[in-house]
Amino acid sequence: MNGIHDLGGMHGFGPVVQEENEPVFHEDWERHAFAVLNLTMAAGQYTVDELRHSIERMPPAQYLETLYYEHWLHAAEDLLDKKKVVTREELERRIAEMAPKEKK
């Protein structure tokens, strides 16, 4: 399958720049995304193949505009919704509850 997610080995994108002493996680939310993905997979909610397939179905522009762990979150949200573990509305409500509150 040749999709936007299959950029490896393609010419014209320049060299891959490696960050010296790069940390595993740049931000705390990445650590949490990693945990969510691994816990939901360990609980048998979906397989790695389903995860990859969900990522591969992302619209190309969205895929290119988002970070690595955002791809994982997209797939987890998509699969948990499709399997009726949690609805999109429940996710949106929880996100709103966790969002920082603006000071008046």
Confidence band, pLDDT 50/70/90 cuts, at residue 83: very high
Q: What's the pTM? A: 0.77
The range of the structural domain enclosing residue 86 comes to: 35-97
Residue 59 lies in a domain: yes
Q: Which long-range contacts (CB under 8 A, 24 or more apart) does 93-96 make?
A: none
Question: Which H helix or E strand runs over 87?
Answer: none
In the chain, alpha helices (H):
28-42, 48-56, 60-65, 68-82, 88-98
Domain CATH number, residue 68: 1.10.472.20
Count of structural domains within the chain: 1
Residue 4 lies in a domain: no
Instruction: Dump pLDDT digits (tens) for 28-51.
Output: 999 999 999 999 999 999 999 999
